[in-house]
């Protein structure tokens, strides 16, 4: 264990990397469908930029250090800060600005299962409009992305911070900002702990009878129409936002929407609609979360801009993909070009290169191993086909093509072989586009 990794870091190994690429592809395609431009903000920011979002205390929770010239810098802990900084400082952008990013982040947290100090997120943000259309766009984006990944059971829980604030102020008569924040924090735990536990935990900070009312209010959760009708009796003006949002989502064909007033999310900057995406197993935690954060552009000097967005954890999504029973993406047919002896070694490499130039994945042994070993390697590498080349094939200008799964062999010309492989490849592509 001499050359181990620093705490909380890991290598992304081939199996996980493959799944991560699936998520990245689905995200990139969804960005194109919705007209979000892709970019990646700088991984390193000045510390003051990172602190703008949530105060100097952030320093303890991120990778922050002095560079060789003594500048205080930090590794990005989310993509929102960098994207917002970029948008805010580019005066020539046309609004709405819709941008997405898929990139690695660093946080100095205690590592735990599915939680590392270096991890990936995807992120889509819409800047400019303050209306609920932009929120609907972002929720629809999230829904569509999970659909594309085949995680059809993902449901989106939507809440509204404004509505909660109005309820706390008007109905509970609490005005003190810090107290309101504590109450929100408590409410956020409703999905993790029992009411009793929460009331006890906060008994020193918040009047239990008041908190209890809020928790009851927050337990309003379920099918949208039903929750909205039960909200009527409270006569809260902010309810209109949710009504409009739900209506828009219906027209957009977004399904699996749950109204859940206990959704709070991070306290530092969300201001309106907030939402989280869950799989059937809620213990896994949210796969993605987002909402409206109009405060942040204002912090960066653009109070005229609205902002709403969503960020998703790639590691949790990969866990969900692994648990899913549905068939995983079939591999393109790969071919192993095996050769009988040294004399035809060079010819085999020629064949493999020819296939690759035709866009067909092909492998060839690099170590002059015996035919037996080459076939063994081909079968372990999960190749679909083996091409076998010996002196006979070289002189007749043909190859043996063998289906590794059923062991059947054929003697074909190189052109015929290429055509066969291309047909198989096409079938796989059609399969992929259907799912």
Partner RNA sequence: GCCGCUGUGGUGUAGCCUGGCUAGCAUAGGGGCCUGUGGAGCCCUCAGCGUGGGUUCAAAUCCCACCGGCGGCCCCA
Shortest Cβ 416–RNA spacing (Å): 17
Shortest Cβ 156–RNA spacing (Å): 16
Shortest Cβ 92–RNA spacing (Å): 27
Nearer to RNA, 353 or 396 (CB): 396
Nearer to RNA, 359 or 391 (CB): 391
Shortest Cβ 110–RNA spacing (Å): 4
Shortest Cβ 399–RNA spacing (Å): 9
Shortest Cβ 377–RNA spacing (Å): 7
Shortest Cβ 85–RNA spacing (Å): 13
Residues that bind RNA (CB under 7 A): 1, 4, 6-9, 53-54, 58, 61-62, 77-78, 80, 107, 109-115, 185, 192, 201, 265-269, 289, 340-341, 367, 369-373, 375-380, 388, 390-393, 400, 402, 404-405, 407, 409
3-state per-residue secondary structure call for the chain:
CCCCCCCCCCCCCHHHHHHHHHHHHHHHHHHHHHCCEECCCCCEEEHHHHHHHHCHHHHHHCCEEECCCCCEEEECCCCHHHHHHHHHHCCCCCCCEEEEEEEEEECCCCCECCECCEEEEEEEEEEECCCHHHHHHHHHHHHHHHHHCCCCCCEEEEEEHHHHHHHHHHHCCCCCHHHHHHHHHHHHHHHCCCHHHHHHHCCCCCCHHHHHHHHHHHCCEEEHHHHHHHHHHHCCCCHHHHHHHHHHHHHHCCCCEEEECCCCCCCCCCCCEEEEEECCCHHHCCCEEEEECCHHHHHCCCCCCEEEEEEEEHHHHHHHHHHCCCCCCCCCCCEEEEECCHHHHHHHHHHHHHHHHCCCCEEECCCCCCHHHHHHHHHHCCCCEEEEECHHHHHHCEEEEEECCCCCEEEEEHHHHHHHHHHHHHHHHHHHHHC
Nearer to RNA, 341 or 423 (CB): 341
Shortest Cβ 310–RNA spacing (Å): 11
């Amino acid at each position: 264990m001499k050359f181990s990794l620093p705490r909380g870091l890991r290598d992304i190994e081939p199996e996980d990397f493959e799944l991560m690429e699936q998520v990245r592809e689905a995200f990139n395609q969804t960005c194109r469908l919705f007209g979000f431009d892709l970019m990646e903000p700088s991984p390193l920011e000045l510390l003051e930029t990172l602190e703008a979002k949530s105060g100097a205390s952030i320093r303890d929770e991120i990778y922050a250090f002095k560079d060789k010239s003594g500048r205080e810098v930090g590794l990005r802990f989310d993509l929102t800060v960098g994207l917002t900084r970029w948008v805010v400082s580019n005066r020539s952008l046309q609004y709405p600005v819709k941008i997405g990013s898929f990139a690695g982040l660093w946080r100095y947290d205690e590592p735990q299962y599915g939680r590392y100090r270096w991890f990936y997120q995807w992120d889509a943000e819409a800047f400019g409009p303050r209306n609920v259309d932009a929120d609907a766009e972002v929720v629809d984006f999230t829904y569509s992305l999970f659909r594309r990944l085949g995680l059809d059971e993902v449901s989106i829980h939507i809440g509204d911070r404004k509505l909660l604030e109005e309820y706390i102020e008007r109905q509970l008569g609490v005005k003190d900002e810090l107290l309101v924040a504590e109450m929100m924090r408590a409410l956020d735990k409703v999905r993790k702990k029992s009411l009793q536990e929460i009331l006890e935990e906060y008994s020193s900070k918040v009047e239990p009878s008041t908190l209890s009312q809020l928790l009851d209010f927050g337990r309003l959760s379920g099918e949208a129409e039903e929750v909205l009708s039960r909200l009527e009796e409270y006569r809260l003006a902010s309810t209109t936002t949710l009504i409009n949002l739900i209506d828009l989502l219906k027209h957009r064909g977004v399904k699996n929407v749950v109204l859940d007033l206990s959704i709070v999310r991070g306290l530092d900057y969300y201001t309106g609609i907030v939402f989280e995406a869950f799989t059937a197993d809620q213990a896994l935690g949210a796969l993605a979360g987002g909402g409206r954060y109009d405060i942040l552009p204002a912090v960066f000097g653009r109070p005229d801009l609205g902002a709403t967005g969503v960020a998703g954890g790639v590691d949790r999504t990969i866990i969900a993909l692994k648990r899913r029973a549905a068939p995983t993406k079939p591999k393109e047919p790969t071919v192993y070009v095996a050769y009988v002896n040294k004399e035809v070694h060079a010819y085999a490499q020629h064949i493999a290169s020819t296939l690759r130039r035709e866009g067909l994945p092909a492998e060839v042994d690099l170590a002059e191993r015996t035919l037996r070993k080459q076939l063994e390697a081909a079968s372990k590498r999960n190749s679909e086909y083996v091409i076998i080349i010996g002196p006979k094939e070289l002189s007749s200008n043909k190859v043996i093509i063998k289906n590794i799964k059923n062991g059947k062999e054929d003697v074909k010309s190189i052109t015929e072989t290429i055509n066969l492989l291309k047909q198989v490849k096409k079938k796989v592509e059609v399969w992929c586009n259907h799912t």
